[in-house]
């Protein structure tokens, strides 16, 4: 990636996050009959807050706010090389 996450515009950020979700996260969720979508990415200095909605079996699942959420955050932080990412389910 030539630009840092901070240097990307909102559309580029969404596209990048979506590509990581497609490659590394959605297949895991789909195995359990679920999915997720990005609602919005807000810059909330020093953080980038990624608002998501769980779909299917993931909607209302208790691990959606604990283990699964932690895994999603960790994968995004590592894949995008941005430590200040927070994932917030709505």
Q: Read off the CATH number of the domain in which 76 is found.
A: 3.30.300.130
Say how many residues make up the chain.
90
In total, how many domains does the chain have? 1
Q: pLDDT tens digit string along 40-83?
A: 999 999 999 999 999 999 998 888 888 899 999 999 999 999 99
Handedness of CA 21, 85, 72, 50 (dihedral sign): negative
pLDDT > 70 in the chain, percent: 99
Predicted model pTM? 0.91
Residue 88 · residue 32 · CB < 8 Å? no
Residue 50 · residue 38 · CB < 8 Å? yes
Token pair recorded at residue 8: 């990307």
- Domain extent at residue 68: 5-89
């Amino acid at each position: 990636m030539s630009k840092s996450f901070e240097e990307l515009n909102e559309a580029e950020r969404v596209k990048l996050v979506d590509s990581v979700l497609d490659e590394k996260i959605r297949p895991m969720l789909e195995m359990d009959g679920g999915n997720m979508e990005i609602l919005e990415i807000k810059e909330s200095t020093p953080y980038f807050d990624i608002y998501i909605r769980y779909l299917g079996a993931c909607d209302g699942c208790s691990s959606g706010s604990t283990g699964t959420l932690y895994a999603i955050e960790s994968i995004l932080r590592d894949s995008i090389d941005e430590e200040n990412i927070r994932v917030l389910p709505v």
